Every structure is written in structure tokens, then in C-alpha cells.
Amino acid sequence: MSRKILLVDDDKNIHLAIKTIIQKKRNNFIEMARNLFDESSDQMSEILVDHVDSAFQGEEGLELVKNAIEQGDPYTIIFLDMRMPPGWDGTRTAAEIRKVDSDVMLVFLTAYSDKNPEEIYAEVGSVEKIFYLKKPFDPSEIETIVTSLTYSYEQERKLRLLAMTDGLTGLNNRRHFMSLLEQELRKSKRYKRTLSILLTDIDHFKQFNDSYGHQLGDDVLRQVSQSSIQSLRESDINGRYGGEEFIFILPETDLQQAAIVAEKLRKNIEQLEIPWKKSMLSVSVSIGVSQFQPDKEDTMEQLIGRADRALYHAKDSGRNQVCASDS
């Protein structure tokens, strides 16, 4: 994930000034971060800003924020001017942004005649992650606030990632996966693009635990999950659905294409060798495939239900196979 800043201000000179400070002071940021946080330069290089975008009205800024979130690459910091006639002012823009991104750091560029913090908090609806920078500002102030807020954002992001990840397999946990699936379904409906899901279950998994112990069972889960990730595209989304079940989203993929991907996944897992003492154990999976239909009154529950029925059919037909269902 890149570290991006968005400038929302109707003054082109402000954009030029802040971009110049950020883009030409990279070494200053590393040195300042080391002094502030007592960490190595290698660690501090992770908080350098990769890109700075510009918007000259609040409405334009909101669209950029929405697009960034849809692409899975949200902004780290947003600088907001308080007054941007004839459109939204800074507080209205911040309130709209907060509806779609609760994690971004908001920095208001204010003059002494602008609203006081209590008024801003009331209009935005939150006091968290809101900061202020008085105009005119000094370059060192920009350096300090960008360094400290980017560092804080990265630390929070790492904590959020831990909360969203299954500790054993490294896949998205079920709660986070379901949130991602909701996002993908909204995009599918908005752009009239299909997607498919794969629901995968390890065959006879209970036997691994009963015959060889839970440590071996955990190793099976890890290896199957890693083989699944390697078998899928970078754009596909993974999740541990529960127990020995995994679930995957394949954006812009119809049922027939998804079945091909599922068969590739099945074959790769079938070739796994799980070490056990002086021997190797094999593992297989059954996979149910279903396609979302954005032009119809389709729902997430119906989509998963079709995949679940397809999975049941695959297991009932002998396991270690793929079954696709569009009904």
C-alpha cells in the first residue's frame, strides 16, 4: 500500500508550496523521523510519502477519496482549506470524507478568522484524527506534521491489519473478508461487472487432526492457504471462512472462467506434500463456484448460498473436485 497525501485547496500556490516541501525534503523526513521515534533509517523510509494528489474543490476531493478506497489504496493525510468558494467549505468536505474514510488524518489549513475547533468538531461529527495548521505556515511545520501523522497512520494500519488477519493462515479473517465482499459487490453493481467466488473445503480434514495431531492439522491449513494464494491472481481476495474452509473473490470473472481458476487451484493443492516423520502426506480440496449477477436482484447471501450448495455437491460426488452453480 502506498502512502498518499491529498491537497484540497482552491489556491494553486498552496498546492505548489506543499508539494515542493514534501517532494524535495525526503532526507529531512527520514532524519526527523529518526529523531522523533528513535528507529532506524530503514524503518523510517517506510513512512515516506509516495504521491501527492490535488483537488481544488471539496466535491472533487471527495471523489478522489472514494476512488482511492475502491482501489484499496486510501489516502494517509488530507490537507483541507477552510474556504473554497463557490463549493463546499473545509468542514463540509471533512464531514463527507469521514463518511467514507474514518482512518485518514485530516489537517485543516486555517486563518485566525476561521471557525474554532469546537465548531469544526460539531460539523464533522468527530474529534479524532483532526489537526490544524495556521496560514501562513513554515516549511518545517509541514515537514513535522507529515512525518508525525504518516508514522502514526502506519502504526495504526499495522494494528488494523493484525485485527483483520487470521493468525494461523495469514488470510483475511471472516469478518474482514465479508466487509471486502460487500465492497466488491457494490462495485460490481455500480459498474455492471460480474464477479465470482470460490468456496473451498479441505477433504477429510478431521482425519489429519485425529490421526496425526492438531499441530499437523495447523500445518495443513497453512500450506493449503499459501498454495491457494499462489494459485490466484493478485487482484483476487482471500479469506478464511471458518475451520478448514477458505473463500476467494475473483473480480470481473464469470462462472466459466472461475471454474478454470478453481480447477487450477485444486490441482496445485493435490500436488502438495505434507511432511510427517519420514513420510509425506497428501491433501485435497473440494470447491464450490458461484457467480454474482449484478443485473438481477442478487444478494451476498444468495451468492454464498449457491457456492455452498455447489461445494456440497462436489463433496457428495466424491470430493477432490470442482462444482460450479448458477442457480
Q: What is the DSSP string of 138-207?
A: -HHHHHHHHHHHHHHHHHHHHHHHHHHB-TTT-SBPHHHHHHHHHHHHHHHHHHT--EEEEEEEETTHHH
pLDDT mean across residues, the chain = 90
Quote the pTM value.
0.68
Same domain, 219 and 129: no
Catalytically annotated residue among 244, 245, 252, 263:
244
Q: Which whole number is the average pLDDT over 203-207? A: 96
Res 43 pLDDT > 70:
no
Same domain, 154 and 180: no
Same domain, 66 and 188: no
Q: Could you give phi then psi for residue 282, rounded to 5 degrees?
A: -105, 160
Count of structural domains, the chain? 2
Same domain, 187 and 307: yes
Same domain, 181 and 159: no
Any domain includes 310: yes
- The cell numbers describing 97, all together, are 470524507
Q: Are 225 and 269 in contact (CB under 8 A)?
A: no
Quote the pLDDT of residue 115: 72
Q: In terms of residue numbers, what domain contains 282?
A: 174-325
Res 59 pLDDT > 60:
yes
Res 155 pLDDT > 90:
no
Q: Which whole number is the average pLDDT over 101-127? A: 82
- The cell numbers describing 131, all together, are 489537526
Cβ density class 288-313: b for 16+ within 10 Å, e for less: bbbbbbbeeebeeeebbebbbbbbbe
Catalytic (active site) residue 31 = no
Q: Are 289 and 310 in contact (CB under 8 A)?
A: yes
Quote the pLDDT of residue 203: 97
CA atoms within 13 A on the CB side of 228: 33
For residue 320, give Cα distances in angstroms to 10, 17, 105, 267, 290: 60, 61, 48, 9, 17
Same domain, 292 and 314: yes
Same domain, 160 and 179: no
Same domain, 199 and 300: yes
The three-class DSSP label of residue 43 is helix
Q: Could you give the CA distance from residue 215 to residue 312 in angstroms, rounded to a whole number?
A: 27
Res 31 pLDDT > 70:
no
Q: Which whole number is the average pLDDT over 193-202? A: 97
Q: What percent of the chain has pLDDT over 70?
A: 91
Region for 125 from its dihedrals, namely left if φ exceeds 0, alpha if ψ lies in -120 to 50, beta otherwise:
left
Q: Could you give the CA distance from residue 243 to residue 245 in angstroms, rounded to a whole number?
A: 6
Quote the pLDDT of residue 71: 85
Same domain, 193 and 98: no
pLDDT band at 37 (very low <50, low <70, confident <90, very high): low
Task: Give 169-178 pLDDT, tens digit per residue.
Answer: 999 999 999 9
Quote the pLDDT of residue 17: 92
Q: Are 230 and 171 in contact (CB under 8 A)?
A: no
Q: Are 165 and 171 in contact (CB under 8 A)?
A: yes
Q: Which of 164, 185, 214 is the last residue of a domain?
A: 164
Neighbours of 137 (CB within 10 A): 15
Any domain includes 10: yes
Any domain includes 169: no
Task: Give 219-235 pLDDT, tens digit per residue.
Answer: 999 999 999 999 999 89
Q: Which whole number is the average pLDDT over 112-124? A: 75
Q: Which residues face 38 on adjacent strands?
A: none
Res 323 pLDDT > 90:
yes
- The cell numbers describing 82, all together, are 477552510
